């Protein structure tokens, strides 16, 4: 029996636990998978070279195995594509929500700026009115002082 080499590269499954399929897909796309497949092919060719198995049977077994493996690889690839499409859709929805939040924050900032401008204008008018009133009170006080002194 051939030893199975396990690939330790983390899967692109952020935030969720790896399933056995995820682990298999990671292993299939690794250098260790190439090494194992190469060893298996060499083993079958050696069986034929040493007369343990006929060439026709060896080629039939390898062809059938490779065909089945190609079918499964296509399925694994489609599973990965589907999962990535779902994850991209989720990310896209998150980006849309964040964009909406940013737009709302921008509108709030604009409203606050307008309120500040209105408050500043109101404050300026109030200061002007206060200055006018202060001057009027001073004038009235000076008139009263003048009247007191004239009596």
Q: How many domains does the chain contain in total?
A: 1
Task: Report whether pLDDT(5) > 60.
Answer: no
Q: Is residue 12 part of a domain?
A: no
Residue 151 forms part of a structural domain: no
What domain range is 65 assigned to? 20-145
For 82-123, the pLDDT digits (tens) are 989 999 999 999 999 999 999 999 999 999 989 888 888 889
Please give the model's pTM, rounded to 2 decimal places: 0.52
Q: What tens digit of pLDDT does each residue of 120-135 get?
A: 888 989 999 899 999 9
Residue 13 placed within a domain:
no
1 lies in some domain: no
SS3 string of the chain? CCCCCCCCCCCCCCCCCCCHHHHHHHHHCCHHHHHHHHHHHHHHHHHHHCCCCCHHHHHHHHHHHHHHHHHHHHHHHHHHHHHHHHHHHHHHHHHHHHHHHHHHHHHHHHHHHHHHHHHHHHHHHHHHHHHHHHHHHHHHHHHHHHHHHHC
């Amino acid at each position: 029996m051939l030893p199975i080499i396990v690939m330790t590269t983390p899967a692109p499954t952020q935030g969720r636990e790896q399933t056995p399929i995820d682990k298999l897909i990671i292993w299939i796309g690794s250098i260790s998978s190439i090494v194992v497949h190469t060893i298996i092919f060499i083993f079958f060719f050696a069986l034929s070279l040493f007369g343990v198995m006929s060439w026709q049977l060896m080629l039939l077994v390898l062809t059938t195995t490779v065909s089945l493996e190609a079918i499964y690889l296509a399925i694994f690839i489609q599973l990965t594509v589907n999962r990535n499409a779902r994850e991209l859709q989720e990310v896209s929805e998150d980006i849309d929500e964040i964009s909406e939040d940013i737009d709302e924050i921008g509108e709030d900032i604009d409203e606050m700026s307008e309120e500040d401008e209105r408050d500043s204008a109101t404050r300026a008018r109030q200061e002007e009115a206060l200055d006018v009133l202060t001057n009027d009170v001073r004038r009235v006080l000076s008139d009263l002082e003048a009247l007191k002194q004239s009596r």
